[in-house]
Amino acid sequence: MAALAALGLVATLAGCGASAADGPGVTLTLVAADYGDSKANSSRKYWDAVVKAYEKKTPGVTVDVTVHSWNDVDRKIKEMVAAGEAPDMAQAGTYADYASADRLYEVDDLLSIPVQAGFLPQLADAGKVRRVAYGMPFAASTRVLFYNKKLFAEAGLDGAPRSWNELAADAAALDGAGVRTPYALPLGPEEAQAETMQWLLSGGAGYTDNVGTYRIDSDDNVRTFTWLKDKLVDKGLTGPTAPAELNRADAFAAFARGEVGMLNGHPSLMRMAADEGVDYGTAAMPGYDGREHATMGVADWMMAFKQNGHGEEIGDFLDFVYNDENVLDFSREYDLLPVTASASEEMAADPDDADLHPFLDALPDAVLPPVGKTSWADVSAAVKEQIGRAVRPGAKPGVVLEELQQTASVADRED
């Protein structure tokens, strides 16, 4: 893995921990997202263990962690910042707005050089705003195609599709065998931007071009959504719920009930399906031409606010957070991918992590959403709200994509 560029002397001093151990008492505050689905596996347990170990080795520093659900964490952070009470650190789904408002420490001023160099390059790059790193990747995942082996066998199918034409043919066979939802296409408001991006990538394009300019209405993207509408939705192969009304959580739950033949999924679906006894397989998302194309990657972020002036102590604590033991403990607990090269290599070599290997294999070539653009929040919200209209009966996908491009262009000019 390519290391990040060598950094200045200030980065060498940050994270060394000298004053963290020897200076007066400091309390750091951290607001974090909860990755668990019950009290038993709440992220609170993870952070309690990390903080206990850190405070034991670092007298004089206390770390106060507050954990919120994903439904609440971004709002809580925003409210704290607006009230002039920004936490020292926050771990959530976005960082660019705070970076653009000059509220965050640069990563160079926090982490030691070895920790910075250890991040996977594509994740580190995604943490930059105008080529300066502010977001530290905390957790990652990729998308693969999940398919129900039992339903495939009943439909006379013996493996995952490798092209769009094969996917459509397999969906038709599943439909003929009485499968309720041959292919689940969640374009509802919960996470439509992710399903959309995976399809755009498999069609050879994406939200942006190679230099980061939005190209939502490109010819390739129009072709992708026209194909989806004509070959899957209009033929009744996406189930009884209209894609614009189907959320990811509902699609995952239906797959776990054995009602869905195929869908795009991330690692958490493995546990859901296994808990319900679904015999599933995974494969690369088919490309339009039968070749594998880039898959979508997703990262959640750690950021550090400047307001309280605890940069050196924050850097020392985050150096500890990002050691391999902590990174792997978190990744394995929540079926996520490590954000560092060394932890990724250890996971790839461990047969006990074999179920995560397909996702891990996809990570080096994964493409992340343009999270470094402050405009992305508005564009993502617009996609969630509008993209489902592109596959409705009588719709013209190109018109919807043109409207989204106009929204993106305006937002980008204001970025």
Q: At what angle do helices 219-227 and 397-413 cross, to 10 degrees?
A: 140
pLDDT at 290: 87
pLDDT at 16 over 90: no
pLDDT at 200 over 70: yes
pLDDT at 224: 98
Comparing 120 with 24, the larger pLDDT belongs to 120
Question: Shortest CA distance to 73 belongs to which of 28, 35, 33, 46?
Answer: 33
- 244 sits in the region (left: phi over 0; alpha: psi -120 to 50; else beta) called alpha
* Share above pLDDT 70 across residues of the chain, in percent, rounded to a whole number: 94
Tokens of 15: 């994270």
pLDDT at 291 over 90: no
Tell me the mean pLDDT in the region 336-343.
Answer: 96
Average pLDDT, whole number, for the chain?
Answer: 91
> Which single residue is written with the structure tokens 């026209």?
226
- Encode pLDDT of 129-164 as tens digits: 999 999 999 999 999 999 999 999 999 999 999 999
Tokens of 56: 């034991």
Of 7-21, 54-68, 85-99, 292-306, least confident by mean pLDDT is 7-21
- Encode pLDDT of 35-72 as tens digits: 987 788 899 999 999 999 999 999 999 999 999 998 89
pLDDT at 415: 62
Write phi, then psi, for 141 (nearest 5 degrees): -155, 165
Tell me the mean pLDDT in the region 214-243.
Answer: 98
pLDDT at 413: 82
Of 48-52, 68-72, 107-111, 311-315, least confident by mean pLDDT is 68-72
> Which single residue is written with the structure tokens 């809580």?
76
Write phi, then psi, for 163 (nearest 5 degrees): -145, 165
> What are the structural domains of the chain?
9-140+298-363 (3.40.190.10), 144-294+375-413 (3.40.190.10)
What is the pTM for the complete model shown?
A: 0.84
Question: Shortest CA distance to 409 belongs to which of 356, 365, 355, 373?
Answer: 373
> Which single residue is written with the structure tokens 């982490």?
111
For residue 261, the one-letter residue type is G
- Encode pLDDT of 354-376 as tens digits: 999 999 998 888 999 999 998 99
Q: Partners of 152 in the beta sheet?
A: none
